[in-house]
Amino acid sequence: MLKEFINGLKDIIYPKVCISCKISLKNIASMDEIICNECWNKIQRNLPPFCYKCGRHLDAVMETICNNCLKNTLYFDRAFSPCVYEGIIKELIHEFKYKNKDYLGYTLSKLMIEFIKNYNLPMNDIDLIIPIPLHKTRLREREFNQAKILGFWIAKEFNKTMSEQILLRNRYTKTQTELEYQKRNLNVKDSFLVRQKDIIKNKNLLLVDDVLTTGATTSWAAYALKNSGANMIFVLTLAS
């Protein structure tokens, strides 16, 4: 009785609103009481046909790989993303990463889990899930690693082991946001260190991150892991 009263009082003082359109969620359907169903359904999904390398949508049905992947060297085997990085999902990721709303990770991970199931991604072949790490300086600034939160919920759903101790950032790099491919590539080159190499030897790994733009970050992470004995490396990001 007291708990219900307190929860009712909280709803009056802090009414639940959609994190995107700010409409009250009191009498409408919503996803985890965070985002209204209308906004959720407006998130632009990444649809096939997919580039065989980066996983983005291909405009031409007969193509298998996009022009960017033909031009650039990427060390992971395949990448996948459930969403197109624009509109509502871009806003949500910004809230998640930069405004300390770590609780959004649970809801956003549902998009990734749904994608895995819908397209039968090879989770049975994955031996270990590894979140893309933050440098300790950036981790102190942000207070949490968004990739770790997403990876946690994916690992839990598919009963996989996740480790954040194997892949480390050994060099602080400036933010990638405003950099073009070549500068991004140089910015993150040789910035990853692999520990406990025996654990990943001949193993198939799933790297998890929030956004894939040029693929430079996940590519160099994959490079470090493969040089340390890993076998196949797949990448799953929330958007690209």
Please indicate, yes or no, whether residues 189 and 203 belong to a single structural domain of this protein.
yes
Which H or E run contains 209? strand 205-211
Please indicate, yes or no, whether residues 168 and 53 belong to a single structural domain of this protein.
yes
For residue 4, the model assigns a pLDDT of 42
Please indicate, yes or no, whether residues 12 and 97 belong to a single structural domain of this protein.
no
- The three-state (H, E, C) secondary structure of 28-53, written as one string: CCEECCCEEHHHHHHCCECCCCECCC
Q: Quick one: average pLDDT of 41-51?
A: 97
pTM: 0.89
Give CA–CA dist 54/74, Å, rounded: 9
- Alpha-helix runs per DSSP H in 173-215: 181-188, 197-200
Q: Quick one: average pLDDT of 59-82?
A: 92
- Give the CATH number, domain containing residue 164: 3.40.50
Q: Which two tokens stand for residue 211?
A: 């956004």
What domain range includes position 92? 43-239
Cβ atoms within 10 Å, residue 107: 19
Tell me how many degrees the CA angle 45-71-222 measures, rounded to the nearest 5. Answer: 70
Least confident piece of the model among 47-56, 84-93, 162-171: 162-171
With 80 as the cut, is the pLDDT of residue 185 above it?
no
Please indicate, yes or no, whether residues 21 and 109 belong to a single structural domain of this protein.
no
Tell me: the pLDDT tens digits for 214-231? 899 999 999 999 999 999
For residue 170, the model assigns a pLDDT of 85
For residue 178, the model assigns a pLDDT of 52
Please indicate, yes or no, whether residues 187 and 130 belong to a single structural domain of this protein.
yes
Give CA–CA dist 134/28, Å, rounded: 37
Q: Quick one: average pLDDT of 126-150?
A: 92
With 80 as the cut, is the pLDDT of residue 179 above it?
no
Please indicate, yes or no, whether residues 11 and 111 belong to a single structural domain of this protein.
no
Q: Which two tokens stand for residue 104?
A: 């959004």
Q: Quick one: average pLDDT of 3-29?
A: 69
Mean pLDDT for all residues in the chain: 89
Tell me: the pLDDT tens digits for 93-131? 999 999 989 999 999 999 999 999 999 999 999 999 999
Please indicate, yes or no, whether residues 18 and 124 belong to a single structural domain of this protein.
no
